[in-house]
Each structure stands twice: as C-alpha cells, then as structure tokens.
C-alpha cells in the first residue's frame, strides 16, 4: 500500500504555481492519432490532436555544438559536419492536461513556432506534473510546414 504524503503534494503544487507565474509560456502539445497512406498517389496523411498549455514552464535553451563524423573507406580523414543543437526543458503541470493523459516519446511540442521532439520524459511525484527534455527539430518552422501544399499529380495521356 502506498502512503501519500499530502504535505509533499501541496509543496510541489505551490512550487509549480510559482514557476508557472515566473516562466510560463504558451506551448502546444501534439499527439499523433493515426497515419494512413494513399496508395495511388503515395502521399502519407497523418492526423494529430493538440492541447494548448497556456502556462507551461519553459526553461532557457542550452545550445551546444554537435558533430557528425564518418570515415569513408580506408581513409584517415573523417568527413562530417557540425550543427548547433537547441535543447530545452519543459515542465507541465498535470492540471493543465486532460485527466489520465500520458505523454509519450511519439508526441511533440511547439514553442515559439519551433517543433521540439522529447528526448527524456519524467513524471513528477504523485502525478503532479511532467518534466520533458526536448530537442529542437532543424527544418522549417511549424507554420511553414503547415503552409506547404501537397504536390498535384496530373495524369499523362497516351498521346503525350
């Protein structure tokens, strides 16, 4: 039998409230619900649901350089490149999510019009909240990705 420490629960909620007031920002949490493929055109159609969290605790970004290297054949000189990876920590109060909602690795976050993929997801004590360490996805912003239209395919006649 698990003993619930109500005083600890109250202190965690008070700390989350104070952090939400100081560092709270609007974040959208996306959950992929279904994926289907149109076999005629080859277009992959994904549907997702989103939850807007108005006071998510967003800690400042930690930017560090990451290096990708590979050695081709028997050469001594490695080829590769480097890029700046943006990592943020998000803390979400469980009261801001629907009851029984579980954050998974397939979910993603949108903050400041950038998409973040979760790397580490931890649930706080007594189901009071979630701590998510997420890495920014390099590529188009969320609004640019949504504005890209699907290519139109035209059928080619036999005489063309």
Q: At CA 107, angle to CA 148 and CA 84, rounded to 5?
A: 70
Give residue limits of the domains in the chain. Answer: 6-147
Name the CATH superfamily for 6-147.
Answer: Bacteriophage SPP1 head-tail adaptor protein (2.40.10.270)
> Does position 153 have pLDDT exceeding 50, yes or no?
no
Residue 73 has a pLDDT of 57
Residue-averaged pLDDT of the chain: 78
Name the percent of the chain in helix, strand, coil, to the closest 5.
Answer: 20, 45, 35
pLDDT digits (tens, 9 = 90+) for 85-129: 688 899 999 999 999 889 998 899 999 888 899 999 999 888 889
Question: What's the CA gap between 31 and 108, in Å, rounded?
Answer: 7
pTM of the predicted structure, to 2 decimals: 0.70
């Amino acid at each position: 039998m698990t003993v619930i420490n109500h005083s600890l629960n109250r202190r965690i909620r008070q700390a989350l409230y104070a952090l939400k007031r100081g560092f709270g920002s609007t974040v959208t949490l996306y959950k992929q619900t279904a994926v289907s493929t149109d076999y005629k055109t080859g277009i992959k159609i994904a549907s997702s649901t989103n939850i807007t969290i108005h006071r998510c605790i967003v800690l400042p970004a930690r930017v560090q350089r990451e290096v990708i290297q590979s050695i081709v054949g028997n050469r001594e000189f490695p080829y590769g490149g480097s890029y700046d990876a943006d990592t943020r920590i998000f803390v979400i109060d469980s009261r801001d999510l629907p009851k029984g909602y579980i954050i998974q690795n397939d979910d993603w976050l949108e903050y400041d019009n950038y998409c973040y993929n979760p790397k580490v997801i931890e649930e706080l004590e007594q189901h009071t909240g979630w701590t998510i360490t997420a890495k920014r996805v390099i590529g188009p912003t969320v609004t640019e990705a949504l504005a890209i239209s699907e290519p139109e395919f035209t059928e080619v006649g036999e005489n063309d």
